[in-house]
Structure 1
Amino acid sequence: MKKRMFEELAGSVREAGAILRGERKLSRRTVIGPAGVRDIRERASLSQSAFAQLIGVSVKTLQNWEQDRRRPTGAPATLLSIIEHDPVLAVRAIHRV
């Protein structure tokens, strides 16, 4: 098992314990892997540059997500989930803002 994977698993176990003990509230967390980010962008029919601009991140950040150097978290991960659900509608809605 790779060190990073082990650390993520250990962190998840610690978090689950804290939730069970009532020390922490359960929170919603959106996890999207590298293939998912690329697939979402391609389903939206956008280049890396256009997609990065659409979701408000740098091209380098998007490339890091797509190449599994980093993972999207927080608001960008949620936005990616929305775009994944209905790319055409999401892109249209974002352009209206």
Structure 2
Amino acid sequence: MSLFDELKASLQEAVEIKKQKVAPARSTQFDIADVKAIRMKLNVSQAEFAKALGTSADTIKSWETKRRNPTGLAAKVLATIQDNPNIYFEIAAH
């Protein structure tokens, strides 16, 4: 099978999945950190939290209101802080 044929078949399968005519072979879901709950547990302001994470207070606000979701390294750092809040204080110290 040529690369073109493989891509065409893959796109056709994607359309069938989107139309819910077939189930996906696998599905991956990630838990999104509750940023506000993490921050409240740490008893820090949005500005303090943003500074420690190297981002803006507006980004923290967006995460807390679910307008945006943390991705990549930010999501991993938040998951780590959620599991071990003391990590936040180590990060904030640097």
Identity %: 32
Please state if 1:49 is matched with 2:70. no
Mind listing any 5+ residue stretches in structure 2 that lack a counterpart?
1-17, 19-23
Give the distance between the partners of 2:78 and 2:65, measured in 1 at CA. 16
Give the count of matched residue pairs.
Answer: 72
Q: Following superposition, which runs of at least 4 residues in structure 1 exceed 6 angstroms of deviation?
A: none
Q: 1:50 to 1:96 in 2, by over 3 A?
A: closer
* Equivalent position of 1:95 in the other structure: 92
Q: 1:95 to 1:67 in 2, by over 3 A?
A: closer
Offset, 1:63:
0.4
Structure 1 residue aligned with 2:78, among 43, 57, 80? 80
Kindly name which structure, 1 or 2, has the bigger radius of gyration based on alpha carbons: 2
Mind listing any 5+ residue stretches in structure 1 that lack a counterpart?
1-9, 11-15, 20-25
Letter in 2 for 1:94: I
Q: Provide the alpha-carbon RMSD of the alignment.
A: 2.4
SS in 2 for 1:92: helix
More helix by share: 1
Structure 1 residue aligned with 2:57, among 52, 56, 59? 59
Higher relative contact order (CA 8 A, sep 6+): 1
Give the distance between the partners of 2:70 and 2:82, measured in 1 at CA. 14
Letter in 2 for 1:32: I
**TM-score normalised by the chain length of structure 2:** 0.64
Q: 1:64 to 1:75 in 2, by over 3 A?
A: same
